[in-house]
Structures are given as structure tokens and as C-alpha cells.
């Protein structure tokens, strides 16, 4: 079987072998229920609490502030709905137009229940205007929810500034840190974050595990009733193997500069293709993300063409691809419609020079092939002549 080149790490990552080994022990040997009051159960509880403390330390939090969930989507739901249910007099929410669907859909649901939601726009780089957020805060504002790093275009938002404003205005601040956790250092105290969402499978950990950080003193209501696990905020049998896997993933060392250099080298080659545009910020961008658009072709066709060569990319968010044909994120940054449909996302782990050349060569060939079939071929020729 030919070697595959996986460039869809923003969707999910390969579980690290050391993570698998650590988890296997809790599947096959230390498999008791965390909540059991026998010696076996207490042993598991002790190991899980060690993992909780390790995870808390990673973001400078207290261990009782970490609530384990199934991942980012549940954490985002618990954060926003939990705050809303616990603070029924606060009926106003501020978020951005480019949040993850698990934030946007919750806000739309709450609007149907009488909440007012302000969806702040972004500039052409995908950055929110902090002054606009500040101007929209009202007496009845419950929470400002702005993601740390966008899952499609990789833009890094100024969460420290937003957190400072929220603290001054006495408004809760929630951030979806699914794409930034472990890639960017986060100190929840310094950034004035009240609630933070994380998913394990984005950092070479297992699927089905994540957590919500909830600052001590903040009241939220649970979404799941039952045995009262996780400080009565998330009932259900504790996923001990998943928690151990998430904790173990923190030990994986990644040379961020090496990944960034590979990313930049590949991006340079892609931008040599006529009719190509980079989406999002060039500078304020997570180090492993490339999101580019090619004039006049369909990104989905490009995904299929590269897949035949063993190169796996995506057209955008895996969580919204089944629902949306056109990226709402690219529409928000006012990308040209003929470029939006030709957008792809490459999120890399690490690449050799040989792999970079292989990906670039096949992308160039595939774009050329698809453009030969495109009804917009004439417009591209005119554009090239104008630019030339």
C-alpha cells in the first residue's frame, strides 16, 4: 500500500502510540468504575484525579475547575446553555459570525427562546473588532463567546484583550480553544477566561473525550442529569481510558517551528499557481494551517483528485461539511464567490521536503486538470492577462 499524506489534522489527529499504550492499561487491567467505592474503584479515581490535575496545570487552572466531557461540541453546549439556564435574567449573548457550529447553533436555539444575540463581523483576515465587542456589551449581557483559533482559516483571535474587557464589564467570557489547546500557551487567569472548551482528538489523543474549564465561583446548570459526577455538572460513567489518553497526549513533543517552516514552504508553492488566494491572516495564524482558494473550480473535486494520489485534505470544517455547501467563514471575510467554491484546507503535522514537493506537484496538476473542465476558464485567462 502506498504511503498516505494526511493533511486534515484540524479535523482529527492520529492517536499517538504512547497514548494508546497508556489507555490500554485502563481498558484491560485498571478497568474498574471511577465511582465504585471498593479498593479497585478508588485506585482508578486516584489515577483520574492525577490526570485532572495535570490537565489543569497545563492551563494554570485548579483541578476542580476541569469538567470532563465528550469533546468540544459538548463543552461549548455546556458552557453557553449552562450559563443561560443558571442566569435566566441575562438574555443577551455576543459571539462572532465565524464560530464553530456548536456555538452558532446553540445561539440560534436560544434566540428562539427569547434571547438576543449579536453576531459580530470579522475583517478580511478573519479577525474580530474588539472595540465592536465592547460597544455591544449591555446590562443584560450574559456571555461573550469568541473562539481562540478558527477551525477553517486558522486565524488567532485577541482573546486576552477580549477577556480584559469582559472582566471590566463583569461579563462572562467563554472561548472555544479546540484548535489552539497545546499549540498556543494558555493561562486562563492572565487571559481572564471564565470558560474554555477543549477536545482530545485534536492533539493526538482519543476521540470522545474533552473538557470544559469553569472558573471557580461561576454557576452553570448541567445538561445531563444522573449520578452527579463531575461536580454535579456532567452525570454519567467517567471515561477513565479517555481521560488518561488526553492527559498522556500532553507529553507529546512537537517542534512547532519545524511544522511552521513546512507549512510556509508548501504555501509558497501553492501561491505560485495562478488564480490562488490565501484565506485568513498571514501573520495571526495558527502554525499548521493553510486555507487557500483556487479560482473557478470546486474544492470538493480537488479533494477527490488528491485522494486518488493518497493525499488527504478537506474543504473546511468536518463538523459542518454535511450541512453547508458554501463556507460561512469565507463568506464572512468577504471572499469572492468564485474563490469560495474552490477553497481547501490543509492542516499539517510535519512534512519532509520530498512530501512537500509531492503535495505541491499533485496540487498543481489537479488544479490544471480541473480548470481545463471549468466553465470559468476564459475569465481566468482574462484575469491572468490583466495581472500580467
User: Residue 139: pLDDT above 50?
Assistant: yes
Residue 321's pLDDT is 45
Which pLDDT band holds residue 41 (cuts at 50, 70, 90)?
very high
More confident residue, 215 or 3: 215
More confident residue, 169 or 338: 169
User: Which residues are CB-contacts of 213 (< 8 A; sequence separation ≥ 6)?
Assistant: 56, 59, 61, 65, 66, 67, 188, 193, 195, 196, 197, 198
Residue 379's pLDDT is 63
Q: Final residue of a domain: which of 249, 279, 297?
A: 249
CATH of the domain at 98: 3.40.640.10
Shortest CA distance to 312 belongs to which of 264, 349, 261?
349
Task: Provide the percentage of residues in the chain whose pLDDT is more than 70.
Answer: 94
Q: Final residue of a domain: which of 231, 249, 267?
A: 249
- pLDDT, tens digit, 9 for 90 and up, residues 225-272: 999 999 999 999 999 999 999 999 999 999 999 999 999 999 999 999
Distance CA 95, CA 102 (A): 12
- pLDDT, tens digit, 9 for 90 and up, residues 255-267: 999 999 999 999 9
Residue 204's pLDDT is 98
Angle at the Cα of 159 from the Cα atoms of 65 and 315, rounded to 5 degrees? 100
Asked whether the whole model's pTM tops 0.85, one would answer yes
206 and 258 co-located in one domain: no
User: Residue 8: pLDDT above 70?
Assistant: yes
Residue 145's pLDDT is 98
Q: Which helix (H) or strand (E) holds 230?
A: helix 229-232
Residue 385's pLDDT is 45
19-23 long-range contacts, CB within 8 A, separation 24+: 19/204, 19/205, 19/206, 19/245, 19/248, 19/249, 19/252, 20/245, 22/244, 22/245, 22/247, 22/248, 23/206, 23/241, 23/242, 23/244, 23/245, 23/248
195 and 268 co-located in one domain: no
CATH of the domain at 380: 3.90.1150.10
Q: Which of 224, 319, 324, 383 is catalytic?
A: 319
* Averaged pLDDT, 46-67: 98
Q: Is 319 considered catalytic here?
A: yes
Residue 324's pLDDT is 41
- pLDDT, tens digit, 9 for 90 and up, residues 196-210: 999 999 999 999 999
> Domain total for the chain?
2
* Averaged pLDDT, 150-154: 98
217 and 243 co-located in one domain: yes
User: Residue 211: pLDDT above 50?
Assistant: yes
Average pLDDT across the chain, whole number: 94
* Averaged pLDDT, 361-382: 81
58 and 206 co-located in one domain: yes
291 and 370 co-located in one domain: yes
241 and 265 co-located in one domain: no
Distance CA 341, CA 180 (A): 26
Residue 384's pLDDT is 52
32-39 long-range contacts, CB within 8 A, separation 24+: 33/237, 33/238, 34/229, 34/237, 34/238, 34/240, 35/227, 35/229, 35/237, 35/238
Contact predicate 265/354, CB 8 Å = no
Q: Final residue of a domain: which of 196, 221, 249?
A: 249
21 and 38 co-located in one domain: yes
* Averaged pLDDT, 74-82: 98
Residue 182 neighbours by CB distance under 10 Å: 18
126 and 268 co-located in one domain: no
Written as nine digits, the cell of 15 is 492517536
Q: Following CA atoms 282, 284, 289, 293 in sequence, which dihedral angle do they give, to the nearest 10 degrees?
A: -40
Distance CA 176, CA 25 (A): 31
225 and 269 co-located in one domain: no
Describe the strand order of the beta sheet including 289-294 as a list of residue ranges: 276-278, 289-294, 343-347
More confident residue, 174 or 1: 174
214 and 286 co-located in one domain: no
149 and 241 co-located in one domain: yes
- pLDDT, tens digit, 9 for 90 and up, residues 92-117: 999 999 999 999 999 999 999 999 99
Distance CA 149, CA 199 (A): 13
- pLDDT, tens digit, 9 for 90 and up, residues 277-293: 999 999 999 999 999 99
SS3 of residue 204 by DSSP: coil
- pLDDT, tens digit, 9 for 90 and up, residues 12-36: 999 999 999 999 999 999 999 999 9
Domain enclosing residue 77, as ranges:
17-249
Q: Which helix (H) or strand (E) holds 66?
A: strand 66-69
242 and 375 co-located in one domain: no
Shortest CA distance to 343 belongs to which of 360, 358, 322, 328?
328
Amino acid at each position: 500500500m502506498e504511503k498516505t499524506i494526511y493533511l486534515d489534522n484540524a479535523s482529527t489527529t492520529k492517536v499517538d502510540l504512547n497514548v494508546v499504550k497508556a489507555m490500554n492499561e485502563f481498558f484491560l487491567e485498571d478497568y474498574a468504575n471511577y465511582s465504585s467505592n471498593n479498593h479497585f474503584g478508588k485506585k482508578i479515581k486516584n489515577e483520574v484525579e492525577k490526570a485532572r490535575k495535570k490537565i489543569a496545570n497545563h492551563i494554570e487552572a485548579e483541578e476542580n475547575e476541569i469538567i470532563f466531557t465528550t469533546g468540544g461540541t459538548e463543552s461549548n453546549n455546556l458552557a453557553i446553555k449552562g450559563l443561560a439556564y443558571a442566569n435566566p435574567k441575562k438574555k443577551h449573548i455576543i459571539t462572532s459570525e465565524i464560530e464553530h457550529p456548536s456555538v452558532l447553533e446553540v445561539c440560534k436555539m436560544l434566540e428562539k427562546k427569547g434571547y438576543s444575540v449579536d453576531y459580530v463581523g470579522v475583517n478580511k483576515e478573519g479577525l474580530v473588532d474588539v472595540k465592536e465587542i465592547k460597544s455591544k456589551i449591555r446590562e443584560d449581557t450574559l456571555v461573550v463567546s469568541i473562539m481562540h483559533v478558527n477551525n477553517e482559516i486558522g486565524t488567532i483571535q485577541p482573546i486576552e484583550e477580549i477577556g480584559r474587557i469582559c472582566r471590566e464589564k463583569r461579563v462572562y467570557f467563554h472561548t472555544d480553544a479546540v484548535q489552539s489547546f497545546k499549540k498556543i500557551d494558555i493561562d486562563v487567569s492572565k487571559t481572564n477566561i471564565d470558560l474554555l472548551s477543549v477536545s482530545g482528538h485534536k492533539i493526538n489523543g482519543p476521540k470522545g473525550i474533552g473538557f470544559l474549564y469553569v472558573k471557580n465561583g461561576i454557576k452553570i446548570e448541567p445538561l445531563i442529569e444522573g449520578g452527579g459526577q463531575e461536580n454535579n455538572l456532567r452525570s454519567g460513567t467517567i471515561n477513565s481510558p479517555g481521560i488518561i489518553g488526553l492527559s498522556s497526549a500532553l507529553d507529546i513533543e512537537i517542534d512547532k517551528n519545524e511544522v511552521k517552516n513546512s507549512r510556509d514552504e508548501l504555501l509558497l508553492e501553492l501561491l505560485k499557481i495562478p488564480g490562488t488566494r490565501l484565506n485568513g491572516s498571514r501573520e495571526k495564524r495558527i502554525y499548521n494551517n493553510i486555507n487557500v482558494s483556487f479560482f473557478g473550480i470546486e474544492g470538493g473535486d480537488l479533494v477527490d483528485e488528491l485522494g486518488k494520489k493518497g493525499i488527504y485534505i478537506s474543504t473546511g470544517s468536518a463538523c459542518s461539511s454535511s450541512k453547508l455547501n458554501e463556507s460561512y467563514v469565507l463568506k464572512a471575510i468577504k471572499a469572492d464567490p468564485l474563490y469560495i467554491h474552490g477553497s481547501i484546507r490543509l492542516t499539517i503535522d510535519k512534512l519532509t521536503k520530498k512530501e512537500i514537493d509531492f503535495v505541491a506537484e499533485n496540487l498543481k496538476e489537479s488544479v490544471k486538470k480541473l480548470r481545463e473542465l471549468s466553465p470559468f476558464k476564459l475569465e481566468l485567462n482574462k484575469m491572468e492577462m490583466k495581472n500580467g
